[in-house]
Amino acid sequence: MALLDANNTFLKASSGLDVSFHLPKEYYEFAYEAWMKMRSSEDFNPDQYQEYPHDGRTHIKKSMLWDFYSLLNHDIGSDLSPRTSYEFTLKNYAELSKEELAELDRLAILLSNDPTTEGLATFYQNSKTLKIKSAEEDPYSFVFSR
First to last CA, the chain: 33
**Amino acid, res. 112:** S
Q: Is residue 42 within 8 Å of residue 34, measured between CB atoms?
A: no
Helix-then-strand count for the chain, H and E: 7, 0
- Find out whether the peptide bond into 139 is cis, omega within 30 degrees of 0: no
pTM: 0.84
Show pLDDT as tens, one digit a residue, over the chain (146 residues): 556 666 767 767 777 777 777 777 777 789 999 999 999 999 999 998 898 888 999 999 999 999 999 999 998 865 555 555 567 777 899 999 999 999 999 999 999 999 999 999 999 999 988 998 888 989 999 999 86
pLDDT at residue number 79: 57
